Amino acid sequence: MTEIARGLEGIYVTETKLCRIDGQKGELVYSGYDIYELAEHSNFEEVCFLLWNGRLPTNEEYSHLVEQLRRERPISPLNNRLLHEMVGFVRPMRALEIAVTAIGALDRNSSDMSPDALQDQARRLTARMSTVIAAYHRIREGNEIVAPRDDLGHAANFLWMLRGSEPSELEARVMDVALILHAEHEMNASTFGAIVTASTQSDMYSAIATAIGTLKGPLHGGANDAVYKTLEAIGTEDKIPAYVDDLLARGERMMGIGHRIYKTTDPRAIILERLGEELAKVSPDAHYYHLSQMLRDYLAQKLEGKPLYPNVDFFSASVYKMLGIPNDLYTPIFAMSRIAGWTAHLMEQYANNRLVRPNALYEGAENRPYVPMSKRD
């Protein structure tokens, strides 16, 4: 009998040097480096270099990368016009998807799949996606676009462009770590979607547009927005039991709880909870963080004995809220982080390409005679 693997669960579609996950132990490793080490000591730019090159950069290489990203941050007049035209009609993730397509349309070397060209494209996408997200938000709020600053790192620059005020050292660090935690996660749905597109020898920009469209779904990148909406719906601690009991009675799942891979707490959730605790000491929106903790604890009681634990989305919702980020930008920020891993996987794919073309087991009718339309009842 032919075995069907719905959702491709347990199926290895390729080999990679980028990421290893042990869902039983709660381990996440980027190119040999434990996520706890990277979150403690590294920054997003350095992690990008690691994923794109398989090693950490030297001081000179790091400085060169930072300068290259700095040069690529400004968006084109075309994207500026597109963002203004889309406000009021298009949601942020769709706007980001369209903007990425426009970035590719203006790149005369978009079809160049040489290693150097792919690195250029990866840097361009990484730098500009953050500017696009911030600019779109500024425009829809009726504010002037805030230009990127050369003296700020990637994470701090994003908060500066988004809010129009320079973030504190703590805010910049929390944003930086959040980007690191979302940068890569092996063969997730959006990464696989990008690889399928790339396997046809389509360009990197088209593959990333595919990834963004895939990430948009609530079962993937949209979960953090759903967690925020849950916190908003609950409102106060005393309403947690009734909300959760009613949800479970209807047979619905709590977004941000459980993961296809992790059978214990997602290590990224552990790191974000710790960061959230620091932010909560100074944030006027600390209520959301504390409500998340209480919700997690009540769910643990109700789901005792089941392998359902918080994933990265569960605490990212309250952390982003404390950073002053609107909830409909949570998923675009996920994309702005994951661009590092997406592009790294695409480099691996282009270097050893094979068209992704699985099979489907046919279970339909056989030997049906064709009846002319004039004789059909």
Find the catalytic residue in 220, 285, 287, 328: 220
Find the catalytic residue in 176, 259, 266, 345: 259
Question: Are 194 and 61 within 8 A, CB to CB?
Answer: no
Question: Taking the alpha carbons of 209, 214, 220, 224 in that order, is the dihedral positive or negative?
Answer: positive
Question: Are 122 and 51 within 8 A, CB to CB?
Answer: no
Is residue 150 annotated as a catalytic residue, yes or no?
Answer: no
Give phi and psi for 215, each to the nearest 5: -65, -25
Half-sphere exposure of 148 (CA within 13 A, CB side): 24
CA distance 346 to 302: 41
Question: Are 46 and 56 within 8 A, CB to CB?
Answer: yes
3-state secondary structure of 323: coil
Residue 10 burial (C-beta neighbours within 10 Å; 0-12, 13-18, 19+): exposed
Q: CB 132: neighbour CB atoms within 10 A?
A: 26
CA distance 308 to 317: 18
3-state secondary structure of 369: coil
Is residue 220 annotated as a catalytic residue, yes or no?
Answer: yes
What is each CA distance from 211 to 96, 196, 197, 251, in whole angstroms? Answer: 11, 10, 9, 30
What is each CA distance from 172 to 56, 103, 320, in whole angstroms? Answer: 22, 27, 12
Find the catalytic residue in 176, 203, 313, 345: 313
Question: Taking the alpha carbons of 30, 36, 37, 41 in that order, is the dihedral positive or negative?
Answer: positive
Positions marked active-site: 220, 259, 313
